[in-house]
């Protein structure tokens, strides 16, 4: 009997460990699970005010803008409104559920098509060749995890009572990259661009 109990304990431990290994599911503002086949807005966890040279304004959601070079379009925080709808595609999308600490692509919805750069994709990527900061831009590749797409993968992490985005891809374990939070960088022309920073942008996800 004792031998049976020892064998049961030995073989049951991996099963218990594997059941606990799944990361938590991301929850939207209505308390429902974030899904890969649904559009969402990224909004600040708490409204905040930004002041420029002339006036102040309430910051809203995430959208597209041309900053510097005309294409591709860059990812920015816009004034007063909830921005443009987005979709999240996990590297393993079999169940269609978005989880924390999991590599995923972020793409503006097809509804957000912008004629200013019609030949560029709306998939997010980082631009490591920026002269000032490492900004978040578009024209990334959807899927195809590996060294050639290392700049296209992001993760969602819990951040206090909300979430944050991070650049810390695991799709290429042998690739050298530094994990960093994604925050807001106020550009010289006063646009609020998403970039790799030391201060995270605290955010939530609202169903579009």
What are the pLDDT digits (tens) for 100-133?
Answer: 999 999 999 987 778 888 889 999 999 987 777 8
Residue with the larger pLDDT of the pair 133 and 176: 133
Based on C-alpha coordinates, what's the Rg of the chain? 20
Query: Binning pLDDT at 50, 70 and 90, where does residue 93 land?
Result: confident
In the chain the domains, ranked by start, together with CATH numbers, are 2-207 (2.80.10.50)
Residue 24, pLDDT score: 94
Q: What integer is the mean pLDDT of 136-164?
A: 95
The pLDDT score that the predictor gives to residue 33 is 96
Residue 25 pLDDT > 70, yes or no? yes
pLDDT > 60? residue 9: no
Average pLDDT over the chain reads: 85
pLDDT at residue 50 tops 70: no
pLDDT in tens, 51-81: 655 555 566 899 998 876 678 999 999 887 8
Is the pLDDT at 20 greater than 90, yes or no?
Answer: no
pLDDT of residue 51: 61
Give the span between the Cα atoms of 168 and 162, in whole angstroms.
Answer: 19
pLDDT number for residue 12 = 45
Pinpoint the alpha helices (H) of 58-164: none
Mean pLDDT, residues 193-207 taken together: 95
Query: What's the mean pLDDT in 21-40?
Result: 94
Q: How far is residue 207's CA from residue 113's CA, in Å, rounded to a whole number?
A: 19
């Amino acid at each position: 009997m004792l031998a049976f109990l020892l064998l049961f304990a030995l073989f049951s431990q991996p099963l218990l460990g594997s059941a606990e290994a799944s990361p938590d599911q991301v929850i939207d503002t209505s308390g429902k699970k974030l899904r890969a086949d649904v559009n969402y807005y990224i909004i600040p966890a708490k409204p905040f005010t930004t002041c420029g040279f002339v006036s102040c304004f309430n910051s809203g959601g995430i959208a597209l803008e041309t900053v510097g070079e005309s294409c591709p379009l860059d990812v920015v925080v816009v004034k007063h409104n909830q921005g443009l709808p987005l979709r999240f595609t996990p590297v393993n999308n079999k169940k269609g559920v978005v989880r924390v600490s999991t590599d995923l692509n972020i793409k503006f919805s097809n509804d957000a098509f912008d004629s200013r750069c019609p030949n560029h994709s709306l998939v997010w990527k980082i631009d490591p060749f920026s002269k000032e900061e490492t900004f978040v831009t578009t024209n990334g590749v959807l899927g195809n995890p590996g060294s050639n797409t290392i700049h296209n993968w992001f993760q969602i992490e819990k951040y206090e009572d909300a979430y944050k985005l991070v650049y810390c891809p695991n799709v290429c374990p042998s690739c050298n990259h530094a994990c960093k939070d994604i925050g807001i960088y106020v550009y010289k022309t006063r646009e609020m661009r998403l970039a790799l920073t030391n201060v995270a942008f605290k955010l939530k996800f609202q169903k579009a």
